Structure 1
Amino acid sequence: MSQPSRPPSIIELYPEETRKAASLLKQAVPLMMRHDIPPNPVHYALWYTYSRGSEPELNRRMDKAVEDFDVFPTETASRLFRDYIIRGELEEARAGQQQVIELVDDIEDDVSHSVIGSQHYQQSLSQGLSALQEPIIDDLPSVLNDLQESTQLMQDQQEKFLYRLRAAQQEITHLRGQLERAHMAATLDSLTRVFNRHAFTRLLERALAESQQGLALVILDIDHFKQFNDQYGHPLGDRVLQHVGQLLRDLLPPGAFAARYGGEEFCVVLRDCKGFSEVIEFAEQLRNKIQSLRIKVRRTDQVLDSITASFGCAMAEAEDDFESLLTRADDALYQAKRSGRNQVHPAKSETMLSA
C-alpha cells in the first residue's frame, strides 16, 4: 500500500526561535485587544499566524470576519483554526482512515483466497480418501501425487497469508500511532499535555448531559504569572506551566480530566464526588503541590519558591449547563484572588443565590 506524504506538524509549521516568536506575539496581542478578542489558545494561534503573514488567505478571511461582524465570532475562530492551524493533523487523520479501509480490503481479499484454497484442499482430500477406500486402486501413484501437490499448494497459500497478516499487523501499529498523534494534536495542549480548551468544552458538556450527580469543576489560576514572565522570561514561564500540567496528570483521580483553559488558567472536572469536602480536599492537595514546586533559573541557578495558585470550586446542580457551572467556579476563583490568592474558594450554590 502506498504511503501518502505526511503533512507538516504544528511544531514544524512554527519553527521560529524564542525572540522571533515573542515579537510576533507582541504584534498579535494588540490586534486581539483592538477587536475585544478573548485570550485563549485558539485565538492566540490564529492571530500569531496572522501577524506572521504566512497564510494570506487566512488573513483575508480574518479581516473579513471582523469587518462583517465588528467582532471575531467563536464559530468563525473554530472553523479557521481547524482549516489553517490543525489542518495537517486532520489531513493525517483522514489519510490514516483511508489507509485502514484499504488495509481491511486487502486482508479481506487474502482471507477470501485462503478460504477458497482451503475448500479446494478439502475437496482434494475427500477425493483422495474416496479413491483410497476403493478395493483396488489402479492409479495409486497418481492419487498420492495429487494429494502431495494439493498439500504443497495449501502450504504455500498459508505461508503467503501469514506473511500478509504479519505485514498488516506492522501497518496497523504504524497507523495506530499516526492516528493517536493526530488525535493528541487536535485535543491536547502542546505545552502542558492536558486537554486544550476546545476538547475541555466538549467533554464537560458531554459530562453534564450524562449526569450532574457528583460532578464538580475546579478552576485554578497561577498567581502573578504576568509579573513572573516579565521578570524571568517566557521560557521559564512555560516550564512552570509544564510542571503544573504534570502535577494535574499525576493527581487526577479515576474518571477526572484536566485542561489548560487559557494562558495560566487550568480546569479540572471531577466525577463521582461524594460531597463538596472531597472537591475542596483535592483542590487543597493540588494547591500545596504547586506551592511546593522548586524551579531553578538556569542562567543564575536561583531556585524559585514563590509559585502559588488560586482556586475556585463548584459542584454541578440540577439546572446547570456549561456556562452556569463555569461562571460559578470562575466567580469563586475571583473571590480567592480578592481574598489574598494562594487559597481555595468554594462557589455559592445557585439555589442559595436565588433564595
Structure 2
Amino acid sequence: MPTGGKKVRMLDAATMVLATMRRSNIAGIPRNYELVYEALNASNAQLTREFEALGPTPTQQQLDDLGRKYFAHHYKTTVVDGAHERITEEVQSMLRLLKQEQSSLESYARLLNETYSRISSKNHASAEILSNIVNTLSSATGDTMEKGEVVVKHMVERAFEMEQVKLELDEYKRIAHTDPLTRLANRRAFDDKITEIYSDARDAMYHALIVCDVDNFKQFNDQYGHPVGDRVLGVVAAVMRSNLRKDVFLARTGGEEFAVILQGTSMDITVEVAERIRQAIHATPLRNQKTGVDYGPITISLGICMASDADDASELYNNADIALYLAKNRGRNQVQLYTPEMQGELEKNWMMYRK
C-alpha cells in the first residue's frame, strides 16, 4: 500500500509539472522539466518565488537565466561555449584594430620616405616648398597620433571585456566545484586536487589524505527525516572547517563522506588533526532550538593514509578508504592510520562476509 501511494504522488507531481509547462508554453526539454518540478515542489522557497515572478508565459531566456542560477550542472557547455564565442569576438576585434594601425603606420612611413626624397632633392629647396612639407608632416603626425590613441582606447576596452569573461568563467568554475548543501568543495574539485599531489614526487611525501564518514547517518534520515540529515551534514562541515586552517583543502565527496588533504604535514600531525576533528564533532550538540528535541550525538569515523604510502592518487584514496572501513568495522567513532597489514585484515573480513 505505501508503495502504491508513493507512485500516485509521483504521478500527481508529474501531471502538475506537465500541466504547468503546457499552460505557460514552456518547451519540453530536460532542463525545463527539472526547473519547473523544483519550483512547484517548493523545496527552495527562493526558487519558487523567482519562478512565479517570471509571469504566466516566461521566455526560454528567462528560464535559462533562472536555471543557470540554481542548476549550474545543466549549463556547463552553454557557459563555456558562450565564453569561447565572446573571447573569439574580442580577439578578432583586436586583430582588426592592429591591422588598421599597421596600415596607418605604413602610410605614415611612406609619407616620410617621400618627404625625405623631396627634401633631399636640390630642385625643391625653396622656403615655400619646405614650409608645405613641414605642414604636411605636422598634419600627418597629428592624425597618426590621434588614430593611435583611438586604437589604444579600443584595445583597453577589448582587454576589459576579456577580463570580464575570465571573471565569469572563474565564478562558474567556483560554482561547478562547490557542494550546494555544505558550501565545501565537491567531488569534482576533490578529484582534481588529489591528482595534483603526485605532480611533484619530492613534494608528495609531505601530503596526507583523511577520509571520514558520518556514523549511522541513515538512522538520522530514517528517524527524523532528511531535513535533520541535511543539518547533520551542515554541522559536520562547519565543525571540520572551524578546526582546520583556512588553506587546508576540505571537500564533501558524496553522501555523508568528507575528505581532507593536508600539505606540509607529518604522520603525527595528521593523526592529531584527525583526532581533533573527531572529538570536536562528538562534542557538538544537535538539538532542535524550537522544540528542544535532542537528536543525539554525531560521531564520525576517519581513515588516514600518508601520500608516501601510495604510488598515485588512486592508491592513496583506496588506502585511506581501507583505513576508514576498518575504523567502522572496529566500532566507529575513531581514527585509523593505514598500514600495509590492513590489507590482509580487509581480505580476511571480506572472505568471512562471503561465507
- TM category (shorter chain) comes to 0.5 to 0.7
Unaligned runs of at least 5 residues, structure 1 = 1-6, 23-83
1:313 pairs with one of 293, 299, 304: 304
More helix by share: 2
**Matched residues, number:** 285
- SS of equivalent residue, structure 2 residue 185: coil
Go from structure 1 to structure 2 and tell me whether the alpha carbon gap of 1:98 and 1:173 turns closer, same or farther (over 3 Å shift).
same
**Structure 2 counterpart of 1:180:** 170
Deviations 1:20-56 (A, max 9, x none): 769xxxxxxxxxxxxxxxxxxxxxxxxxxxxxxxxxx
Q: Which residue of 2 aligns with 1:44?
A: none
- Structure 2 regions of 5+ residues with no counterpart? 1-28, 45-70, 346-355
Is the 8 Å Cα contact of residues 312 and 329 (structure 1) preserved in structure 2? yes
Q: Percent identity?
A: 30
Which residue of structure 1 lines up, in the alignment, with residue 150 of structure 2?
160
Q: How far apart are residue 261 of structure 1 and its match?
A: 1.8
Distance 2:32 2:269 in 1: 39
Q: Which residue does 1:226 correspond to in 2? A: 218
Distance in 2 separating the partners of 1:117 and 1:292: 74
The residue number in structure 2 matching 1:238 is: 230
- 1:92 is the counterpart of 2:79: yes
Instruction: Calculate the TM-score normalised by the size of structure 2.
Output: 0.63
**SS of equivalent residue, structure 2 residue 150:** helix
3-state secondary structure, aligned to 2:128 = coil
Q: CA deviation at 1:103?
A: 1.7
Conserved 8 A contact 1:241-1:264: yes
Once residues 183 and 160 of structure 2 are traced to their aligned partners in structure 1, the CA distance between those partners, rounded to angstroms, is 27
Per the alignment, residue 114 of structure 1 pairs with 101
Alpha-carbon separation, structure 2, partners of 1:192 and 1:185:
12
Matches of 1:248 and 1:162, distance apart in 2:
50
SS in structure 2 at match of 1:86: helix
Distance 1:236 1:180, change over 3 A: farther
* CA–CA distance in structure 2, aligned partners of residues 160 and 252 of structure 1: 49
Moved more, 212-221 or 10-19: 10-19
Q: 1:352 to 1:91 in 2, by over 3 A?
A: closer
- Superposition pairs of residues 202-281 of structure 1, within 5 angstroms: 202-208=192-198, 210-211=200-201, 212-245=204-237, 251-252=244-245, 257-273=249-265, 275-281=266-272
**Measured at CA, do residues 352 and 185 of structure 1 come closer, stay the same or move farther in structure 2, by a change above 3 Å?**
closer
**Deviation, structure 1 residue 138:** 1.7
For CA contacts below 8 A with separation 6 or more, give which structure has more relative contact order: 1
For the residue of structure 2 that corresponds to 1:106, the secondary structure is helix
Counterpart AA for 2:79: E
1:37-87 per-position Cα deviation (integer Å, ceiling 9, x unaligned): xxxxxxxxxxxxxxxxxxxxxxxxxxxxxxxxxxxxxxxxxxxxxxx9935
Quote the offset at 1:266 in angstroms.
Answer: 0.7
Paired residues of 2:31 and 2:74 also in contact (CA < 8 A): no
Shift of 1:332: 2.4
Q: Secondary structure at the match of 2:259?
A: strand
Displacement of 1:306: 3.3
Deviation at 1:313, TM superposition (A): 0.9
Q: Which residue of 2 aligns with 1:145?
A: 135
